[in-house]
Amino acid sequence: MENAMTESDRAYDLIVIGTGPGGYHAAIRGAQLGLRVLAVEGEKVGGVCLNVGCIPTKALLHAAETLHHLKVAEAFGLKVEAALDHQRLAAWRDGVVKKLTGGVQGLLKGNRVDLVQGFARLVGPKEVEVGGSRYRARSLILATGSEPMPLKGFPFGEDVWDSTRALWVEEGLPRRLLVIGGGAVGLEFSQIYRRLGAEVTLIEYMPEVLPQGDRETAGLLRRALEKEGIRVLTGTQALGYEKKKDGLHVLLAPAEGGKEEKVVVDKVLVAVGRRPRTGGLGLEEAGIALDARGFVRVDARMETTHKGVYAVGDAARPPLLAHKAMREGLVAAENAAGKDSAFDYQVPNVVYTSPEWAGVGLTEEEARRAGYRVRVGRFPLAASGRALTLGAPEGLVKVVGDEETDLLLGVFIVGAQAGELIAEAALALEMGATATDLALTVHAHPTLSESLMEAAEAFHKKAIHVLNR
């Protein structure tokens, strides 16, 4: 059948390499705009996010949170016996993944996007080879995603896990786990394994977890995790390990130098970040420039250094977030179809621990460096009626704005459902709202969302449910 394909069969308006969030969004939008689209996938449809990233991780987080709630339910007058079945948990996780990846395949087919399985390599700026067959197009979108970044002295294998291996709860739980890296991945897996019964130590090289986020709310999240029994060591690095009969002896040291410490664990999870999957694609031979870290260079239109070739998602630039990739995929496809589209959006970030952490816009420090006269409004969730009824009083909503213009600059939340609440803040920033706009928006009571209004009121020293200082 493949040999019977004609040159016209292999000619497309748009070829998209990768079917993760950025790739499948690009392919579908291209088809919606009337383009003949080919999607190429080297592994599984849905990419890292749906198969071994966002979705299965959040499934495990929800299961671990449910188990945690069952264990603490006695505080609400409920007595429940809880037990963990690793195999059924894994089956449920896989069922969620299968349903979503099948949905993406259905959407591609329903939008008449052709799909070819295999690894693609550029043999020209707009021509790719897959499994010995060549396909060409007027435009090309690179959406090849990213992969876990290794750490010197900790090669991935049986004893040292990456985030994909950490999903395999059906293989059994380590009694003692060391997590290296205090970003979203490290924090989420730390809580998953702690709530499933492991002893967890987490280390972060920087002075605080979530080093790219707001330090005040990141610190609150760290303390909440410590209350659950996770040992968190910031300003700490891992130098190497030695395997002995009683476990892995890992050597830790202060990042700035000082007394070394050994911890003994059963497994190590390296979660120090991800790197773009751009190797082996033939990009440089095709005249497509990469930066020093291996990301494809793009402009606001998501176009690379070669006209008509675009890159989106983790392959293009940080932050490595699925929702950013989705929007970038739409922008690239619209430009490939002759539209004039640019990526100029507020991108929220969420850590799906419990409590959740979410942020969008400028932190206090970033706003000051940008020259604003910064003012902050805070509302603790301990003063929220809804948070108390949920048994989730830990947390804070923090509003950052400009004192002179009242312009809203950033919002940071740690607490229950922070990932849902941050959407309102992102919309406010997109619309150029002021703190007054947020304060004057009537929110339902009792809700968690009214904490945003309360924080905006505190910004103006007009808060009702906390003292104004």
Active site residues: 445
Sheet strands side by side (includes 160-161): 160-161, 267-270, 176-180, 199-204, 231-234
All residues at 6 or more sequence positions from 412 whose CB lies less than 8 Å from its CB, including other chains: 213, 214, 216, 217, 357, 358, 359, 363, 397, 398, 400
CA distance 203 to 69: 26
Asked whether the CA dihedral 163, 164, 165, 170 is positive or negative, the reply is positive
Q: Residue 460 has which token pair? A: 């103006």
- Which amino acid type is present at position 141? I
Helices 184-195 and 54-72, packing angle to 10 deg: 40
Q: What share of the chain is helix, strand, coil (3-state, %, to 5)?
A: 35, 25, 40
Neighbours of 429 (CB within 10 A): 20
Q: Residue 91 has which token pair? A: 């089956």
Asked whether the CA dihedral 398, 400, 405, 407 is positive or negative, the reply is negative
CA distance 291 to 351: 28
Contact yes or no for 410/375 (Cβ under 8 A): no
All residues at 6 or more sequence positions from 252 whose CB lies less than 8 Å from its CB, including other chains: 203, 233, 236, 237, 238, 239, 260, 261, 262, 263
CA distance 16 to 185: 27
Contact yes or no for 139/309 (Cβ under 8 A): yes
